[in-house]
Every structure is written in structure tokens, then in C-alpha cells.
Amino acid sequence: MAKQNIYDNETFFSGYMELRKREVNANNLFEIPTLYKLLPDLTGKRVLDLGCGSGERCVDYMKRGALKVTGIDISEKMLEVARSENADPGITYLNMPVEDIDSIDEEFDVVISSLVLHYVEDFQGVVKNVYRLLSEGGIFLFSQEHPINTCYSGNFDRWTRDENGRKIYANVADYCIEQKNDHTWFVEGVSRYHRMFSTVINTLTDAGFRIMRIEEPHPDEELVKKYPDYDDLFHKPDFLFVKAGK
């Protein structure tokens, strides 16, 4: 089964890192604050970060009291940044696809994944492996692109606009067709795997998880006054968060 490693594409990597340097982006405004809101107490916990990227979150987890953090990522470019800029004696970085965590033979109290699982074809396999790796009472917390977005392949106009160009609603097609959708983001051919919301939740419960919390972050009126471009998130959220317990 092919495993996507788009982050080691030089053009994609450069574009992505430049995007993350911007203070105002969806990650900083919505994804990271929601992730931290849902985090359990990490004091003395063994943490596994699936798709740790450049390691900033791993350092944050240590600062929040984690006993140890293991960060895995398929991208060697990302891990080079992690090892040089976000090293810590309590952090271990491993060059490994998320799909290969069945090779890990240790136990964790918290497994976290930030905006990675929509790139993974075998979601069911990953969920089963996370369940196996978690201690009893452990927490699985992840974010992904919202299913409303992953069903979009770029084959139609994403928005319907009024005569002034203002977005008035999002166009949705093929939501119930679960498939790989390719789109352009810095480079052509970036693959996302579309799964319905029900599939995401049922896969977790079928594996034995109980759903503790679901979040679909969106702006409030105050934030939109400050950053008007984000008013389109009233029509559809960018992200889906799920917190599940073993």
C-alpha cells in the first residue's frame, strides 16, 4: 500500500513552511487552540505524536509535564527540523509512516495526531493499532480536515458567490462516495482520503473506543471583525476534532 510523503517534495515543503511562519493562519487561529483545549492532563504521561512534523508540539507536550514523547513522521525533511530546532532528552523522533505503527512495541497513555489522518488510506488499521498501543483509560485525540472538505476534489467550483463575489454557500458533491481525492496545494496531486463523518466515528467505536468529545472549530463574531476573510467558516468548518478514550 503506497504511503504518501508529500512533505519531502522540496516545492511543497518550502511552501508549507512559509505558510506556517505566517502569524495569521487557520492552524494558529483554530486548529492549535482547539487541540490544546481538548488535551488531557499530560503530567507523567507517555505521549505518541502521529505525524509530529517539525516537533513544536512535542516540545509543548514535554512542557506540559509529559514523562516522554515519541514523535513519528514519514518526512525526513520535517524530522531534520525537529531534531535541530526542537530536540529534548525526553523526546524521541522516528522516521516512520503512521501506517507502520504496528511495529512499535511499547505502551502510551495519550496518542495525538494533528491534521494527518486524512492523508492515510488505511484509517481502520491505524485506529486498531492506536487502540493496541494505548494503556487502559488512554486517550486518542486527533484532528483532520473536515469531511465536508475532503469530498472536494477540485473538479467543480468550491463556492457559490453573489454578484459582488462574496461567498454565500459552499458547494458539496459526492460526499457519500468514499475515495481518494487529488487536489493542488503548492504542488499537483496531493492526495486526501475522503471518509464520511459516520465512517470516522463508527471506525473508532468498532475498535473499542468511546467518543468523549467532538469539535468543529469556527470563528466568533469578534474574530471575523478582525479577520474578515474567515467568515466563510460560518458555512463550513475546516477541521474535525475527535477525542476518544480506551
pLDDT in tens, 49-75: 999 999 999 999 999 999 999 999 998
Q: What is the mean pLDDT of residues 29-42?
A: 95
What's the pLDDT tens digit per position in 130-171? 999 999 999 999 999 999 999 887 767 889 999 998 999 999
Identify the architecture of domain 6-145+192-245 in CATH.
3-Layer(aba) Sandwich (3.40)
The residue ranges of DSSP E strands in 125-219, in sequence order, are: 134-145, 159-161, 167-170, 180-185, 187-193, 210-215
Greatest mean pLDDT among 117-121, 135-139, 176-180: 135-139
Higher pLDDT among residues 241 and 54, named by residue: 241
| CB-CB contact of 170 with 158 (8 Å) | yes
Measure the CA–CA gap between 10 and 246, rounded to whole angstroms. 39
Per-residue pLDDT, 182: 76
- Mean pLDDT score of the chain: 89
Phi and psi for 164 in degrees, rounded to 5?
-95, 5
pLDDT interval class at 28 (50, 70, 90): confident
Higher pLDDT among residues 9 and 21, named by residue: 21
Burial track 175-196 (b if 16+ CB lie within 10 A, e otherwise): eeebeebeeeeeeeebebbbbe
3-state secondary structure of 210: strand
Cell of 118: 486524512
Which helix (H) or strand (E) segment holds residue 30: the answer is none
Cell of 235: 458555512
The domain spans of the chain are 6-145+192-245
Sign of CA dihedral 33, 140, 148, 202: negative
- Between 78-82, 89-93, 239-243, the lowest mean confidence (pLDDT) is in 78-82
pTM for this entry: 0.89
Sign of CA dihedral 146, 147, 150, 156: negative
| pLDDT tops 80 at residue 185 | no
Measure the CA–CA gap between 172 and 239, rounded to whole angstroms. 16
